[in-house]
């Protein structure tokens, strides 16, 4: 594993981090979680990314992680970067969503109890709140850091202009923004429209989530929609309507380039993000240890020739 400095901070993150989103809640067996976490840590992944609402159901990913942390990683807490977030709906009523100080402080207290931790290393505001003043939300992050409940503050899903404002507020409060977590992949490139420049200029790290576009950037959809895939399910973040003939044609062409590089499409998609030095780490998910092991092979080749990049751009157009 290689590690990259996170912006202008003292923190280094592994080039690949593990996100505990859909596969660590009440939908699987604990022994599978344990195997994935052991493989990740043994492979040099020191960063584990959670949120209050990860599961499903919400909260169960943190509960399961906390149990394994207590049983298996008791002596390794200081070797781990553990992050959590709040900003999406967590409980009913006016104080269980968005970006108020009330919600963020209460939510983190709940997360710490679920995981059995005194503090998290990074606490993010998960998404911008169109109604709560940005000053209140950032003041809550500043307070949480000063209370020692988090070591660093981060933001997620913030567009460039709003991210720039949030970063400045945090800087003026004396709690620099460590990192931004945006959705970024070959098929989702909005961050290139200004956000990456903001982060580079202000010395903030970047850790993309959904780097495989919910599985589109794998060999799963080369021949259409499998019956057991995310796109085949009636509810979820990847809809059947997104898997168009045009998209499948792109996937096939990208897969050809990956094979020429000696990689799977998924490995190339991860490497494509890591080619940019402004990207600190990429967040991957895994439902099985074998899937994680396969993704980690992306690190064997993150260099791209000019010809390869040009071909990829032509396909993505």
The domain that holds 80 is classified in CATH as 3.20.20.100
Which pLDDT tens digit goes with each residue over 7-36? 999 999 999 999 999 888 876 668 899 999
Domain count along the chain: 1
Residue 9: per-residue pLDDT: 98
Q: What is the DSSP string of 265-290?
A: HHHHHHHHHHTSTT---EEE--SSHH
Residue 213 in domain: yes
Please state the rounded mean pLDDT for residues 111-123: 98
Residue 234: per-residue pLDDT: 58
Residue 188 belongs to domain spanning: 3-217+273-302
Which pLDDT tens digit goes with each residue over 183-225? 999 999 999 999 999 999 999 999 999 999 989 999 987 877 7
Residue 25: per-residue pLDDT: 84
Return the residue matching tokens 């940005």: 134
Please determine, for residue 142, whether its predicted confidence score (pLDDT) is greater than 60.
yes
Please determine, for residue 232, whether its predicted confidence score (pLDDT) is greater than 60.
no
Residue 233: per-residue pLDDT: 60
Residue 278 in domain: yes
- Measured CA to CA, the distance from residue 165 to residue 154 in angstroms comes to 13
Is residue 161 within 8 A of residue 154, CB to CB? The reply is no
- Between 78 and 26, residue with greater pLDDT: 78
Residue 315 in domain: no
Residue 163 in domain: yes
Mean pLDDT score across all residues of the chain:
94
Report the candidate in 152, 103, 158 with the shortest Cα–Cα distance to residue 132: 103
């Amino acid at each position: 594993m290689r590690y990259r400095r996170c912006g202008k901070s003292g923190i280094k993150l592994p080039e690949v981090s593990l996100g505990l989103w859909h596969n660590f809640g009440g939908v699987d067996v604990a022994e599978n979680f344990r195997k994935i976490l052991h493989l990740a840590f043994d492979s040099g992944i020191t960063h584990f990314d959670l949120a209050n609402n990860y599961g499903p159901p919400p909260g169960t990913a943190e509960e399961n992680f906390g149990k394994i942390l207590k049983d298996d990683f008791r002596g390794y807490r200081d070797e781990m970067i553990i992050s959590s977030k709040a900003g999406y709906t967590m409980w009913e009523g006016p104080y269980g969503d968005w970006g108020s100080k009330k919600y963020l402080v209460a939510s983190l207290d709940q997360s710490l109890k679920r995981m059995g931790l005194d503090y998290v290393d990074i606490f993010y505001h998960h998404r911008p709140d169109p109604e709560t003043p940005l000053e209140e939300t950032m003041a809550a992050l500043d307070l949480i850091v000063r209370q020692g409940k988090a070591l660093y503050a981060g933001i997620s899903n913030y567009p460039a202009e709003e991210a720039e404002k949030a970063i400045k507020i945090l800087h003026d409060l004396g709690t620099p923004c460590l990192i931004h977590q945006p959705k970024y992949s070959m098929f989702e490139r909005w961050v290139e429209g200004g956000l990456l420049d903001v982060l580079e200029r202000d010395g903030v790290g970047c850790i993309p989530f959904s780097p495989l576009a919910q599985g589109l950037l794998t060999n799963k959809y080369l021949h259409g929609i499998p019956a057991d895939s995310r796109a085949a399910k009636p509810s979820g973040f990847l809809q059947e309507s997104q898997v168009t003939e045009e998209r499948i044609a792109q996937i096939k062409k990208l897969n050809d380039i990956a094979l020429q590089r000696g990689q799977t499409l998924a490995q190339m998609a991860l490497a494509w993000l890591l080619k940019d030095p402004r990207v600190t780490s990429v967040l991957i998910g895994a439902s099985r240890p074998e899937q994680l092991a396969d993704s980690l092979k992306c690190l064997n080749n993150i260099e791209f020739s000019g010809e390869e990049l040009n071909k990829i751009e032509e396909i993505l157009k």
